[in-house]
């Protein structure tokens, strides 16, 4: 067994999805000595994300505040700190709830300072001319949130990692199998080759992979996975301007021209023939 070590304080980040990549970049940008270890750079959930940047409905104020700060951080990152991040700020249209729920959502979020306005059907048609009339809200209006956007999350993760590496971070493709301990303190991670990577601090950002890793220390992380349906079309010319959250689906156009369509953020069984389910949904 060999030991990889460094005499200066160092940090190991486990996970190369959007969370691990962002943490590693932020640490490297502050001149920390970072090693990022992951099986799949770009992530596992990350490339399958709808990746809508928003602080929309359904959360208590403290969590809204966190999400709103995160939106502002994406702006700063894209505009100033890491230009080239694949971000798209096109706002969002929403009529994916009942009119009463939309009214409640607008009232609450407006009182919190969110830029959210009512948009009549004719204005929606103007913003998203590709929608056929049947797709528009039956009750004649929706909400428009102008500050929202989207990120091509896996590309962004690669971008963070490449820039962190350029700033001196070490990138190690490997499976972490457990933790190394010194007394009662975690002092590193063990990787599948049998090597140990020692560090002063370990950041576990391995998504679902954090569950079995923490289980080796008797810690239960209450995270589970669920099947879901996310559809990518072939690339097409510019069709959609922003995110739309409609009654039965949400959709946006990716920067590479593909339309991304989802049905339920909480997941949902696409059935035994996901391709057929996807085609039926797109034709409905
Ligand atoms: C369908 C869908 C839609 C979503 N929509 C949105 C949305 O609109 N807006 C939004 O903000 N969020 C959305 N999310 C959530 C968001 O995408 C995830 O929270 C995010 O991508 C999680 O990133 P992550 O880096 O934590 O995990 P992951 O992307 O899963 O990355 C985990 C990383 O850990 C590594 N790893 C795991 N185990 C090990 C191990 N033992 N050793 C080494 N490496 C390991 C993997 O290789 C990978 O690099 C959505 C998610 C899904 C699935």
What CATH number is associated with residue 175?
Answer: 3.50.50.60
- Of the candidates 115, 117, 116, 135, the one whose C-alpha atom is nearest the C-alpha of residue 125 is 135
> Nearest C-alpha to atom 26 of ligand 1 is from which residue?
207
The answer on 145 and 240 residing in a single domain is yes
**Is 205 close to ligand 1, i.e. is its CB under 6 Å away?**
yes
pLDDT value, residue 279: 85
- What is the spatial distance between Cα 131 and Cα 140, in angstroms, rounded to a whole number? 14
Of all atoms in ligand 1, which is nearest to the CA of residue 176? 42
Query: Between the CA of residue 220 and those of 12, 148, 226, what are the distances in Å?
Result: 21, 34, 18
Q: Do 153 and 46 touch, CB atoms closer than 8 A?
A: yes
Count: domains in the chain: 2
Question: Does residue 161 form part of some domain?
Answer: yes
pLDDT value, residue 280: 83
Domain boundary among 216, 238, 255: 216
**Is 20 close to ligand 1, i.e. is its CB under 6 Å away?**
yes
pLDDT-derived band at 3, boundaries 50, 70, 90: very low
Residue 196 scores a pLDDT above 80: yes
- What is the spatial distance between Cα 190 and Cα 198, in angstroms, rounded to a whole number? 9
Span of 3-12, 46-55, 87-96, 188-197 with lowest mean pLDDT: 3-12
pLDDT value, residue 1: 47
Q: What is the DSSP letter of 55?
A: -
pLDDT-derived band at 248, boundaries 50, 70, 90: confident
What is the gyration radius of the CA atoms in the chain, in angstroms?
21
What's the CA-to-centroid distance between 45 and ligand 1, angstroms? 3
What's the CA-to-centroid distance between 159 and ligand 1, angstroms? 16
pLDDT value, residue 283: 77
Pocket test for ligand 1, best of 41, 46, 73, 244 (most atoms within 8 A of CB): 46
Q: What is the DSSP letter of 216?
A: T
Residue 265 scores a pLDDT above 90: no
Give the domain range for residue 94: 89-149+226-283
pLDDT-derived band at 263, boundaries 50, 70, 90: confident
- What is the spatial distance between Cα 250 and Cα 228, in angstroms, rounded to a whole number? 13
Question: Does residue 63 form part of some domain?
Answer: no
Pocket test for ligand 1, best of 94, 172, 206 (most atoms within 8 A of CB): 206
- Of the candidates 209, 208, 212, the one whose C-alpha atom is nearest the C-alpha of residue 224 is 208
The answer on 176 and 263 residing in a single domain is no
Count Cβ neighbours within 10 Å for each residue of 206-226 and write b for 16 or more, e otherwise.
Answer: bbebbbebbeeeeeeeeeeee
Mean pLDDT value across residues 181-196: 96
Give the model confidence (pLDDT) of 30-68 as tens digits: 999 999 999 999 999 999 999 999 999 999 999 999 999
**Predicted ipTM > 0.85:** yes
Give the model confidence (pLDDT) of 112-169 as tens digits: 999 999 999 999 999 999 999 999 999 999 999 999 999 999 999 999 999 999 999 9
What's the CA-to-centroid distance between 117 and ligand 1, angstroms? 31
pLDDT greater at residue 72 or residue 7: 72
**Is 131 close to ligand 1, i.e. is its CB under 6 Å away?**
no
- What is the spatial distance between Cα 30 and Cα 25, in angstroms, rounded to a whole number? 9
Span of 74-83, 220-229, 242-251, 258-267 with lowest mean pLDDT: 258-267
What's the CA-to-centroid distance between 44 and ligand 1, angstroms? 5
195 SS3 class: coil
The answer on 160 and 134 residing in a single domain is no
The answer on 233 and 116 residing in a single domain is yes
Mean pLDDT value across residues 180-190: 95
pLDDT-derived band at 2, boundaries 50, 70, 90: very low
């Amino acid at each position: 067994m060999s030991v990889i070590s460094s005499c200066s304080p160092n940090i190991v980040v486990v996970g190369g999805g959007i969370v691990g990549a962002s943490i590693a970049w932020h640490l490297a940008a502050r001149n920390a000595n970072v090693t990022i270890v992951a099986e799949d750079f770009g992530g596992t959930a990350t490339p399958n994300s709808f990746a809508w940047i928003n602080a929309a409905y359904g959360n208590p104020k403290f969590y809204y505040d966190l999400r709103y700060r995160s939106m502002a951080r994406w702006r700063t990152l894209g505009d100033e700190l890491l230009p080239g991040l694949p971000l798209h700020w096109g706002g969002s249209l929403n009529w994916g709830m009942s009119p009463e729920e939309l009214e409640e959502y607008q009232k609450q979020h407006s009182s919190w300072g969110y830029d959210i306005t009512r948009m009549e059907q004719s204005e929606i048609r103007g913003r998203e001319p590709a929608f056929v009339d049947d797709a528009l809200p039956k009750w004649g209006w929706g909400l428009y949130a102008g500050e929202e956007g989207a990120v091509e999350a896996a590309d962004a993760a690669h971008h963070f990692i490449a820039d962190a590496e350029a700033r001196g971070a070490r990138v190690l493709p490997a499976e972490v199998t457990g933790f190394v301990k010194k007394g009662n303190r975690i002092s590193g991670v063990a990787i599948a080759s049998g090597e140990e990577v020692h560090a002063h601090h370990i950041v576990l950002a391995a998504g679902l992979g954090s569950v079995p890793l923490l289980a080796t220390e008797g810690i239960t992380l209450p995270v589970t996975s669920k099947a879901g349906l996310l559809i990518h079309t072939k690339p097409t010319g510019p069709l959609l301007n922003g995110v739309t959250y409609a009654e039965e689906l949400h959709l946006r156009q990716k920067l590479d021209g593909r339309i991304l369509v989802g049905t339920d953020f909480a997941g949902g069984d696409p059935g035994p023939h996901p391709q057929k389910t996807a085609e039926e949904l797109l034709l409905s």
